[in-house]
Amino acid sequence: MKRATIKDVAALAGVSAATVSRVLGDRPEISGETKEKVREACVRLGYVPNAAARGLTGRRTHIIGMVVPDVSNPYFSGMATAIERRAAQAGYRVLLSNSMRNEEQELRAIDHFLARQIDGLLVAAISPQSQAKHRALIGNLPCVYIGVNHSEACSCVMADNAAGACEAARYLLGLGHRDILFFGGRETSRTREIRHRGFQQALAEQGVEGRQITAPGNVGQLRQWSYENALELFRSGKVPDAIFAFSDITALKIMEAAEECGVRIPQDVSLLGYDNISFAALPRIDLTTVSQRKFRQGEIAVGRLLEQIHGRRERTVDLLQPELIVRSTCIKKR
Amino acid sequence: MKRATIKDVAALAGVSAATVSRVLGDRPEISGETKEKVREACVRLGYVPNAAARGLTGRRTHIIGMVVPDVSNPYFSGMATAIERRAAQAGYRVLLSNSMRNEEQELRAIDHFLARQIDGLLVAAISPQSQAKHRALIGNLPCVYIGVNHSEACSCVMADNAAGACEAARYLLGLGHRDILFFGGRETSRTREIRHRGFQQALAEQGVEGRQITAPGNVGQLRQWSYENALELFRSGKVPDAIFAFSDITALKIMEAAEECGVRIPQDVSLLGYDNISFAALPRIDLTTVSQRKFRQGEIAVGRLLEQIHGRRERTVDLLQPELIVRSTCIKKR
DNA sequence: TACAAAACCGGAAACGTTTGCATAAAGCCG
DNA sequence: CGGCTTTATGCAAACGTTTCCGGTTTTGTA
């Protein structure tokens, strides 16, 4: 039950392999009649070109690689869907890898992808150190970073985290809160750093000082950490006016801890998230948050990558403006 | 900046290409000394074997294909993570495709995958018709179906949906509910059919009759449909004792509609979901549901697929026992 | 009608591996 | 020390395409 090759098709159609190849490429130099015959032979044999052989002749493989920390995270799974769809439309397939926030795994994945002759790479790097190491491997392979970027030389598409955090913090200030706590995220996370900077800037404008609590870089389960530390916070009694959570997932964990401790949101403390994952919109949650437009990010990233693959080599940077989504977890300070 | 080939390595190490190939395969018939030399040359040149060429020689590509309806659905994204991880551990990469519940896209994806000489295929088929069509394409390529299966001939791993639904329905009956509504899912969905069958069976045991509301097969946004129809249900005033939702996502939409209509859960109506997606565990949601153990499913699926790839050709069927997760959305009937 | 230009197609090399077969060197036995 | 087995390596074919370079045949033009 071996698969038909181009030679089989050629034999059946009574032409040469070269001709078949040209028909498949829909090149102009063959007669309509021959094309017909060849196409017919193709379907008769159920012929499917062998991608490996194609890749070998030095041309496109039509595969792009994508490495993210974890697709089961709604943020990345949303992006992944958008990416896969746009890529498929353009005739590209995507090879997936989860780095699980592990530098070695991230590098190994990229290495494997390179061996596969991928045409381009999309990566959500876990750290600046890690990204720096990619560069050596990648060479001048088309590549765009998604979500975060730590290099002046790389193309990227990301949300303007500083602006988003700034806008959100201003909103909190506008509601009269002054004791605002920035909660969560790994201290090594660049994204956290940027959001925190936007947050600080907004506070500084009003001359108020902010607090923060961050997770050590090496915590395995950030969710777990968030829950435990929120619990501790609420039990300590030093509950702030408002909490600016690093992410929606973090915010959800904070809610959970609050529930546990009898702290009411938003009556006792306002809570603001970041990401606008789908569950934030549920009535029972109804979390005020900032939308990163991950879907759009994915689409743009693929678009930019394809541009690069097709020859455009300048660096591109797309900064999407995040949007504050006001729901019910933040209210005016009494 | 061309990549180094095996010949370059061979030249640098002063051996033949064949020898290099054998070193890479860590074959026993070469001397330790030569191995050293070759390995050294490899790192010096930053050599990475060309996977296309490897695939061409008729051997393994170490790629498996995975097609699911939509990775942004938490059910599949959880499974995808598990799959990718297990596959990576075994040295396999995974090519991802979303069928978006579209038969043509599903088939096209499989076709592309075949052209890529994948070693095996994991698919969550969208319908029996669709799956029947795969069979012709796939031939005897290793393949295991995940989540659903409609063919006696295919290997598969799935949760025992009938048993899960049955157990859940018995639980509802045990709480004293008699007017129980099975809500949601596409009428064309085999999974829905099976869950509904389990549900009916449990009811039949007690001699009670069940109602059901299903979505037409062609609705685009099932979530939207669920929300609207739940709204309609609650507004009609014909609120049942309990609702058995086809999935957690559906249940979430039902909650949303209930909120909107002032119907209280669980005081006015008990609600039970299915899937145990992560958000079901949040205190604000705290949905009673059935766990499908999607993570475990993914792991087993990869395991079975690898077995097939490595030669074992009998059909395997793994039916995981689902687990009822009791939370707070179902209470005793008043 | 003759000849150049187009149009169409085949031959063969090339892509980077793996592997069966051949071969050379080395070790073993008596 | 001569034949024989082992061990270690090289040669070359094969995998399925694409594409360059020509070679026929047809068409157009004078």
Contact predicate A151/A279, CB 8 Å: no
B255 closest CB neighbour out of A84, A256, A284: A284
Measure CA of the first residue to CA of the last residue in chain A; give whole Å: 76
Side-chain half-sphere CA neighbours of B181 within 13 A: 20
Q: Which range, A51-55, A162-166, B53-57, has the best average confidence (pLDDT)?
A: A162-166
The residues in B 231-250 lying below 8 A from A, measured between CB atoms, are none
Determine the 3-state secondary structure of A37 from DSSP: helix
Separation of alpha carbons B115 and A62, rounded Å? 12
Q: How many CB atoms lie within 10 A of CB B324?
A: 15
Q: What confidence tens digit (pLDDT) does each residue in B240-284 have? A: 999 999 999 999 999 999 988 999 999 999 999 999 988 898 888
- A141-145, B190-194, B311-315, range with the lowest pLDDT: B311-315
What gap in Å lies between CA B171 and CA B238, rounded to an integer? 22
Of the two residues A185 and A313, the one the predictor is more confident about is A185
DSSP percent split of chain B into helix, strand, coil, nearest 5 = 45, 15, 35
Q: Which residues pair with B181 in a beta bridge?
A: B211, B243
Give the per-residue pLDDT at B304: 96
The pLDDT score that the predictor gives to residue A1 is 58
pLDDT value of position A212: 96
Q: What is the pLDDT of residue B83?
A: 97
Rounded to whole angstroms, how far apart are CA atoms B248 and B114?
A: 34
Cα distances (Å, whole numbers) of residue A101 to A71, A130, A191, A221: 11, 10, 14, 11
CA B281, distance to chain mean position in Å, is: 20
Residue found under tokens 């490899």: B42
**Contact of A275 with A248, CB cutoff 8 Å:** yes
Query: According to the model, what pLDDT value does residue A116 have?
Result: 84
Task: Provide the pLDDT for residue B171.
Answer: 97
Length of chain A: 334
**Looking at residue B187, what is its pLDDT?**
93
Helix boundaries (H) for A25-118? 32-45, 51-56, 74-89, 103-115
Look at residue B59 and tell me whether its pLDDT is greater than 80: no
As a whole number, mean pLDDT of residues B2-26 equals 89
**Residue A106 is encoded by which pair of tokens?**
């991230």
* CB-based contact A255 B284, cutoff 8 Å: yes
Res. A91 pLDDT band, cuts 50 70 90:
confident
The pTM of the full predicted model, rounded to 2 decimals, is 0.85
- Give me the A residues in range 52-71 that sit within 7 A (CB) of strand C: 53, 56-58
Residue A307 to chain B, least CA–CA distance (Å):
21
Tell me how far apart the alpha carbons of residues B334 and B329 are, in angstroms, rounded to a whole number: 14
Find residues 78-97 of chain B whose CB sits inside 8 Å of chain A. Answer: 78, 80-81, 84-85, 88, 93-97
Cβ atoms of residues B155 and B306 within 8 Å:
no
Report residue B220's pLDDT band, with 50, 70 and 90 as the boundaries.
confident
Give which of B4, B75, B70 is closest to B41, Cα–Cα.
B4
Q: Average pLDDT of A260-275?
A: 95
Residue range B292-322, pLDDT digits in tens: 898 999 999 999 999 998 887 899 999 999 9
More confident residue, A48 or B215: B215
What mean pLDDT comes out for the span B123-149?
A: 88
> What is the model's pLDDT at position B1?
59
Cα–Cα dist A138/A316, whole Å: 17
Nearest to A35 by CA among A47, A24, A49, A48: A24
Helices B248-261, B222-236: axis angle to 10 degrees equals 40
Please name the residue that has the structure tokens 């048993």: B163
Mean of pLDDT values over A188-197: 93
**Which chain B residues touch A85 with a CB distance below 8 Å?**
98, 100
pLDDT tens, residue by residue, A12-71: 989 999 999 999 988 888 888 888 889 999 998 988 888 889 888 877 888 999 999 999
The model's confidence at residue A271, banded by pLDDT at 50, 70 and 90, is very high
**Which residues does B16 contact at the CB level (< 8 Å), separation at least 6?**
B10
- CA proximity to A40, closest of A15, A18, A12: A12
For chain B, give the mean pLDDT. Answer: 92
Angle, helices A32-45 vs A17-24, to 10°: value is 90
Q: Are B62 and B34 in contact (CB under 8 A)?
A: no
Task: Please tell me which residue of chain B has the smallest CA distance to A53.
Answer: B56
Region A232-239: mean pLDDT is 94
Q: Which DSSP state fits A8?
A: H
Task: Tally A–B CB contacts below 8 A.
Answer: 150
Q: Name the pairing type of β-strands B289-291 and B323-325.
A: antiparallel
Mean pLDDT over all residues of chain A? 92
